[in-house]
Structure 1
Amino acid sequence: MFFDKLRAGAQGTTSKIILVAIILSFALAGVGSYVTRPVQEVAAVVNGDEIPAQVLENAYRNERARLESQLGEQFSQLLADPAYVAQIRRSVLEQLVEQRLIDQKIADLGLRASDEQVRNAIRSLPEFQVDGKFDNDRYLQLLSRNNLTPEQLRDSIRQDLNRQMLLNAVVGSAFSLQSEAGLLDRLTRQQRSATLVRLPLAQYEAKAQVSDEEAQAWYQAHPEQFQRPEQVKLNYVLLDAGTVSADDIDEQAIEDYYAANQASYTQPEQRRVAHIMVNKSDDAEEKIQAIAERLTAGEDFAELARAESDDTFTGEDGGELDWMESGTLDPAFDQAAFGLAEAGDVSGVVESEFGLHLIKLLEVRPAQVKPLKDVRDAIAARLAAEQAGNDFYQREQRLAELAFEFPDSLDMAAGELDLTVQSTGFVSADELPEVLADPRLVTQAFSAELREQRMNSDLIELGDNKAAVIRVLDYRPAAVRDFEEVKAEARAQALKDKAAELAREAAGELEQVWTEGDIAGWLSEHELSASELTDVTRESAQDPALLNALFAMTAPDEQPSLQTVTLSGGDLAVLRLNSVNTPEAPSEQLALIRQGQSRVQGQRDYQSLLNALKTEADIEYRQVQSEDDSFF
C-alpha cells in the first residue's frame, strides 16, 4: 500500500518538476567535475609574480629540519607553541618574498652568470668531488638519485650566482673613509685610568632593618614576584616496551626471514666501464661514427678517450668510470653498459641526455649472496626488535581501549596490563616527572577538557616505544601565593632593596665629597677603600658593567669626571676617571678595521636595497593552510 502511494505520487506534476531539478543538479555537478581543475594555492604575489604555497611548504620543511638539527630536543618543545610555528612560517615566507624581489631586480639589471662560471661552480661543489677532485660518475649518480637533470642543476646554480653577483655588487661598492677607520682604530686601543670605590651590598644589608609591615608592603607592590603557575595533580599509567633477547628468537624464524629477504642480502652485479662522449650538436653523429671507425681499425680505446672525448674529467683516465650498479645512471647508458657480454666488448653508439657515447666493458663483478651465518645475528636482532615492537603495539591498543571503556579510573587498565597507577602532587608544567615532560602530555594535562571532565585522557605516545594515559585529579589556577607562604622571601627582597637604597645614598654622598676634595676621611669613616685601575682597555678582564661605564665617561676637565655604576653582582661602585690616553699613530690592524667597516656598511646597503624594493613593490600576502592545519 505504501509503495503504491509512493509510485502514484511520483507521477504527479510537482514530483516530476522536483525530480527534473534533482537530476539537473547532479548533471551540472558532474559536468563541473570535468570542466573544473584544482586551483594552485598561492602564498604570496610579488609584483604580479606568484609564490606557490607548495614552494612555501617545501622551504618551511627545510627550515624546520635545520632548526631541529640545530636545537635538538628543545625544538620539539618549542613546536608545542602554535605562535612559534606561525613565526617560523612567516619568516620563511618573508625570505621567499625577498628572494623574488632580488630575482626581479636581477632581471631588470640584466645580470647573468656565464656558462663558464656555472660550470666552474658545479665542479667546485664538494658533493661532486672525490679526494678533492670533480668526479663525473658521482655527479651523474647524484643527479639521477635526486631526480634532477643537468639543466635543472645548471639553472639553479645560475640563479644562485646571479644573486651572489648582485650581493657582491652592492656589498663590494661600500667603503670606509681612512679617517673613520683611523678613529675606530685609535678608540679601540684607547687606555683609561681611574680610581674605584666599591660599595658592597652585603655591608649595607647588615645595617638595614626590615619590619613585617615593610616586607608585606614589598609583597603587595610586587605581586608578579610571587606568582604560582597553574598546577595539576595527576594519576597516570606508563607503558614502556619490554626487551626481547635475540637469543630467544626461533632458529626457523631466522631461516624463514633470510629466505624471504634474499634481495636484502645480495650484492648486485657491478660493472666497470669506460666511455667516449661527444656533446650533442649538428655534427655529433658524424664525430662519434668517425671515432667508432677508428676503434674498429684497431686504435686504443683509452687513447681515443683522452684525445676525443668531450667528457674531459674521465677522458684524462682513458674514459674510465667507477664501479656501477644497474639503475644508477642514465637509462640508455645503463642498458647499454649492462648489455655488453664480455670484458673488452664495445657498444654501438648510445644516446643519453648528456650526449652520444661509445661504451667499453672493462670488468664484471658477479652478484653475490651473503651466507646465512654472516647475517644470522643481524636478523635475530631485527626480529627481536620487531617482536618487542609488536608486543608493545598490542598492549598499547589494549591500554587505549581500557582507558576509554572505564573512563573514570585507571585501575582496570593497570590491573589487566600489570601496570602501576602512579600519582603526582600538585605540579606545574615545569615540575612534571621527567618521563612525563613531553609537550604532547603537558598540553593534555593542562587542557580545560580533562580538568573539567575528570576523565582519562586519550593514549599519549611519548616516543621510544613509550605511551601514557593520564587523569587529572585536581587543578589549581595560577595565583599569587599567600604572604605567609612567601614571607621570608618577601623580607629578603625588601632587605636587598633597602640595602641598595642605602648604598645609592652613600654613593651620592661620596660623589659630593669627591667633587669637593679628598675622600680619605670619608672612606675611613665608612670602612671602605679605594683601588686604582691603570691603563684599562676595552679588552681588559674587568666587570663588563664597569668597562661600559668607564669608557662612556667624559674626559676630566676642571671638574672631576665621576660615575656611579651597578656592578654585575649587584654591588655599587663609584668611579673617578683620572686620565684618557688615545694613541695617535695607526696600528697594524688599520687595514682590517677598514675592511670590516666596509663589510658592515655593505650589509647595511644591501638591507636598504631590500627595504626599498619592499616599499616600492606590490606585495600581497595570502592566507595559506599548512599541513598542520594552522593559518597565518
Structure 2
Amino acid sequence: MLTKIREKTQGTFAWVILILICVPFGLWGLQNYTEGGQERAVVIVGDKEFVQRDVNQAYAQFKQQYADMQVPEQILKTQAVEKLIRDELLLQHVVEENLTISDETVREFIASLQYFQRDGKFDKKQYESMLGAQGMSSAQFVNRIRKALLMEQYQKAVTETSFVSEQDIERFFKIQNQTRNIEYVTVKLESVTTEPSAEEINAYYQQQGSAFQTTEQLSVEYVELSLTSLMKDVIPTEEQIQVYYEDNIAIYSVRERRKISHILFAKTKDTTEEQALVNAQAAKLRLAQEPFATLATELSDDTVTAKTGGDLGLFEIGVMEPDFEKAAAALTLGEVSEPVKSAFGYHLITVTELVPAETSDLAEVKSEVTQAVQRVMAETTFYELGEILTEVSFESSDNLQVVSDELDLEIKQADFFTRNTGTGIASEEAVRNIAFSETVLQGNNSEPVELGDDRLLVLRLKEHQPAETKPLAEVRDIIIATIKTQQARQQTEQQAESIKQQLLAGASVEGIAQELALSVEKISALKRDSKDLSVQLNQAVFKAAKPIAGQPTVIVVGSPEGGQSVVSIIAVTDGVKTAEDAEKAELAFANIARALGQSDYAAVVDGMRVSTRVSIRE
C-alpha cells in the first residue's frame, strides 16, 4: 500500500503545483507565508513553522489523490506530513543556493495553466479574478510559481542524471526472461456437509457479533437560509444599477490587448554584456530591411520563442522585469524598441498586435449588472438573517418552529443517512458530521452549518437508529454457511500442507497424486507472462526461491475460490537479451534510470533533513 502511495505522488513539483493552483486555489500555508500567525506550530522545518490548519490543508489536498483507494487515514496523514516536510526542505535549499529561472519560463508556464484560460487562450480577466478571490497579487503568485519551478528544476537535475550500464540491462533481462520448470497438483475446496453444533454457532455469534451489527443512522429536520432565494426578492432600481455599473466599470471593460515578440541577446560566459548590447544594436539596424520574425528565428538566444519568430504572446504586467514591461507598454503597433537591458542580456521588442481598450455599454451588460446588484443587496440581508438564525436557534434549542416563524423559513426533512453516506443535504460531509455530534444526538438544535458561502442551515434530530447487533435467529443461516466454509478451507489447507511436507521429504508428485486421486500438471519453460496459469499462481512461482542442490522448491498457493495448489519448482533457467527485446531494452533503460534517479533524489533530501532542524508535535 505504501508503495502505491509513493508511486502516485512522484515529483515534488507535481504536488506543489497541484496545491498552488487547485481550484479554488487551496493554497496550504498561505496565511503562514503572509501573516506569521500566532497559532502554535505543529511542524517545524528549519525556521519555517506550520500550524495545525496548514497540516490539515496539506492532508486534505493529499487525501484527494486517493479517493479511489482504501488507504488507512493514519497512513495518509503520516505521508501528507512527510511530503510537507520534504517539499519545504527542498524549497529552503533552492532559495539558499540562489538558484534562478528565467522570466520567460515563468510567464509561459502561467499562461499554459488551464485555470487561467478561456477558449484555449490565456485570459487576463480570469487570471486577475482568481488571484483576487484569494487576496493575492500577481507578483506574489509569480513568486510562488517561480519557486515551484525552481524546485522542479532541482529535482530533475538529480533524477534525470542517473546512469544505467549495459550490464544493468543484461541483468534485467536475465531475470525478466527467466523460465521455470514446474509440476503441481491442485486440492479443490470440498463442501462440508456436517452441520455445526449449537455451541459452535453461539460461540461464533459471540466472537463475531460486530460483524452482524446494523449501521447507525438518523434522519433530521432543518431550516435553510439561501442567498439565491433571497436574491429573487430583490428588485433593484435603475439608479442602483447605474451606480453599480459605474463603480465597477473595470469589470465590464476589456483592457488593451498587446501582443509582443522579442529577440534576446544573452549575456553568457562567452558573451559579455557589452558584446550583447553591440549585437542588439547591429540587429536593430538590420530590422530596417528584414522582418522581425526572421531575425528572431536566426539570432535570438531564447531558443523557445525563436522557433515562433520571438512571439511572447499577450503582454502581461507583473510577469516580466520592470524595464522590459515599461518598454513594451510604450511601443506602438509595429514599432521596435531600442535594446532593453534585463538580467539575461538585451532585448529588442516589438508589438505585433494591438487592440485598444473597450468598455461595454450598460445596455449590453444590464442583465449581468442587475444580477450582481441583486447579489450585493441580498448578501447584506443574508448576513443579517444569518445572525438572527444563529441567535434564535440557540435560544430556542429544543425546536425549529421558533426559527421557522421568526425568519419565515420552511422546516424541511432529510431521509435517513449514516455517518459516511447520505443524499440531499446529507451528501455534505459537514452536515453528516454535525448531525452525529453529541449536541444534536442529545436533542438540541445544531450550530449553523455553512454550505459554501451562500447557504446556511440549522438542523435537529428527527429519529435516531443506533447500531445494534442483529438477533441470532436472523443471522443463524449466515453463521452456519460461514462456519462450513471456514472448515472446508481449513481441511483444504491442511491437506495441501501435508502434500508439501511429503514432497520436501522426498516423495514424488506423481505418487502423491495417484494416492489422493489428483491430477498432475507439468509446465516446462514457464515464462513470467505465461497464460497457462492464473496471474496469482504465476507470480508466486516466480517469487519463490530457486531450487538448491537439485532439491526442488515447494510452495503452496491459495486461490480466491479456496482451492490450494502445491507447486514443485524443479529447475530455473536464466534469461538472455534477444533481438526482439530491443524496444523493451529502451523502456527498461528508462525505467531503471528513473528508479535510480528517484532513489538518488530521496537520498539528497534525506541529507538536507539531517542538516536541518525538523520537529513534529502531536
The match for 1:52 is: 48
Partner residue of 1:261 out of 231, 248, 251 = 248
Letter in 2 for 1:197: T
Cα deviation, residue 93, structure 1:
1.5
The match for 2:459 is: 470
Answering whether residue 484 of structure 2 is matched by residue 491 of structure 1, we say no
Rounded to whole Å, the distance in 2 between the matches of 1:220 and 1:84 is: 33
| Counterpart mapping for 1:440-519 below 5 A | 440-452=430-442, 454-463=443-452, 465-472=454-461, 483-484=472-473, 486-505=475-494, 507=496, 517=511, 519=513
3-state SS of the aligned residue for 2:177? helix
3-state SS of the aligned residue for 1:490? helix
Letter in 2 for 1:67: F
Rounded to whole Å, the distance in 2 between the matches of 1:39 and 1:237 is: 37
Answering whether residue 610 of structure 2 is matched by residue 621 of structure 1, we say no
| Counterpart mapping for 1:363-378 below 5 A | 365-372=355-362, 374-378=364-368
Contact 1:510 1:522 in 2 (8 A): no
* Unaligned stretches of 5+ residues in structure 1: 1-36, 131-137, 524-528, 624-630
The match for 1:185 is: 176
Cα deviation, residue 194, structure 1:
3.5
The match for 2:222 is: 237
Answering whether residue 408 of structure 2 is matched by residue 408 of structure 1, we say no
The match for 2:564 is: 573
The match for 2:211 is: 225
Rounded to whole Å, the distance in 2 between the matches of 1:185 and 1:544 is: 16
The C-alpha deviation readout for 1:216-265, integer Å capped at 9, x for no partner, is: 11223334534566x46453315274569999977946666545533322
Rounded to whole Å, the distance in 1 between the matches of 2:390 and 2:39 is: 40
Cα deviation, residue 323, structure 1:
5.7
Partner residue of 1:538 out of 525, 528, 550 = 528
The C-alpha deviation readout for 1:279-303, integer Å capped at 9, x for no partner, is: 89886999699889979xx966967
Count, aligned residues: 544
Identity of aligned residues (%): 19
Contact 1:275 1:358 in 2 (8 A): yes
- Change in CA separation of 1:398 and 1:490 when aligned onto 2, cut-off 3 Å: farther
Contact 2:547 2:571 in 1 (8 A): yes
- Change in CA separation of 1:402 and 1:478 when aligned onto 2, cut-off 3 Å: same
Cα deviation, residue 562, structure 1:
6.0
* Unaligned stretches of 5+ residues in structure 2: 1-35, 114-121, 128-135
- Change in CA separation of 1:41 and 1:300 when aligned onto 2, cut-off 3 Å: farther
- Change in CA separation of 1:174 and 1:154 when aligned onto 2, cut-off 3 Å: farther
Cα deviation, residue 499, structure 1:
2.5
The match for 1:92 is: 84
Contact 1:553 1:563 in 2 (8 A): no
Letter in 2 for 1:537: K
The match for 1:429 is: 419
Rounded to whole Å, the distance in 2 between the matches of 1:560 and 1:304 is: 73
Cα deviation, residue 465, structure 1:
4.2
3-state SS of the aligned residue for 1:471? strand
Larger radius of gyration: 1
Cα deviation, residue 568, structure 1:
1.5
Cα deviation, residue 184, structure 1:
0.7
- Change in CA separation of 1:578 and 1:58 when aligned onto 2, cut-off 3 Å: closer
Letter in 2 for 1:262: I
- TM-score between both structures, scaled by the size of structure 1: 0.62
Rounded to whole Å, the distance in 1 between the matches of 2:487 and 2:249 is: 80
Rounded to whole Å, the distance in 1 between the matches of 2:63 and 2:493 is: 47
Rounded to whole Å, the distance in 2 between the matches of 1:579 and 1:489 is: 43
| Counterpart mapping for 1:46-445 below 5 A | 50-53=46-49, 63=58, 67=62, 70=65, 88-97=80-89, 122=105, 146-147=138-139, 161=153, 164-167=156-159, 171-172=162-163, 176-177=167-168, 180-187=171-178, 190-200=179-189, 203-205=190-192, 207-226=193-212, 231=216, 233-239=218-224, 241=226, 252=238, 257-271=244-258, 306=295, 324=315, 365-372=355-362, 374-379=364-369, 382=372, 396-415=386-405, 417-420=408-411, 422=413, 428-430=418-420, 432-433=422-423, 435-445=425-435
3-state SS of the aligned residue for 1:53? strand
Cα deviation, residue 486, structure 1:
4.0
3-state SS of the aligned residue for 2:458? strand
Contact 2:266 2:344 in 1 (8 A): yes
- Change in CA separation of 1:392 and 1:534 when aligned onto 2, cut-off 3 Å: farther
Rounded to whole Å, the distance in 1 between the matches of 2:107 and 2:317 is: 28
- Change in CA separation of 1:356 and 1:301 when aligned onto 2, cut-off 3 Å: farther
Contact 1:196 1:532 in 2 (8 A): yes
Rounded to whole Å, the distance in 2 between the matches of 1:544 and 1:318 is: 55
Rounded to whole Å, the distance in 2 between the matches of 1:449 and 1:198 is: 57
Contact 1:176 1:598 in 2 (8 A): no
Letter in 2 for 1:573: Q
Contact 1:459 1:469 in 2 (8 A): yes
Contact 1:277 1:355 in 2 (8 A): yes
Cα deviation, residue 494, structure 1:
2.0
Rounded to whole Å, the distance in 2 between the matches of 1:510 and 1:58 is: 58
Contact 1:63 1:92 in 2 (8 A): yes
Cα deviation, residue 572, structure 1:
1.6
Cα deviation, residue 186, structure 1:
3.5
- TM-score between both structures, scaled by the size of structure 2: 0.63
Cα deviation, residue 491, structure 1:
2.9
- Change in CA separation of 1:369 and 1:193 when aligned onto 2, cut-off 3 Å: same
The C-alpha deviation readout for 1:291-343, integer Å capped at 9, x for no partner, is: 89979xx9669679959x99655899998875647887655555566567x76
Cα deviation, residue 199, structure 1:
1.4
3-state SS of the aligned residue for 1:147? helix
Rounded to whole Å, the distance in 1 between the matches of 2:604 and 2:314 is: 50
3-state SS of the aligned residue for 2:451? strand
Rounded to whole Å, the distance in 2 between the matches of 1:90 and 1:465 is: 36
Letter in 1 for 2:389: L
Rounded to whole Å, the distance in 2 between the matches of 1:316 and 1:561 is: 62
The C-alpha deviation readout for 1:156-183, integer Å capped at 9, x for no partner, is: 86776555445556x3278855773353
Rounded to whole Å, the distance in 2 between the matches of 1:558 and 1:337 is: 80
Letter in 2 for 1:493: T
The C-alpha deviation readout for 1:574-623, integer Å capped at 9, x for no partner, is: 43548657366533438458735565456546545655675xx3553346
C-alpha RMSD over aligned residues: 6.1
Letter in 2 for 1:412: V
Rounded to whole Å, the distance in 1 between the matches of 2:357 and 2:551 is: 93
Letter in 1 for 2:459: I
- Change in CA separation of 1:508 and 1:220 when aligned onto 2, cut-off 3 Å: same
Which region of structure 1 is more displaced relative to structure 2, 390-399 or 210-219?
390-399
Rounded to whole Å, the distance in 2 between the matches of 1:327 and 1:612 is: 36
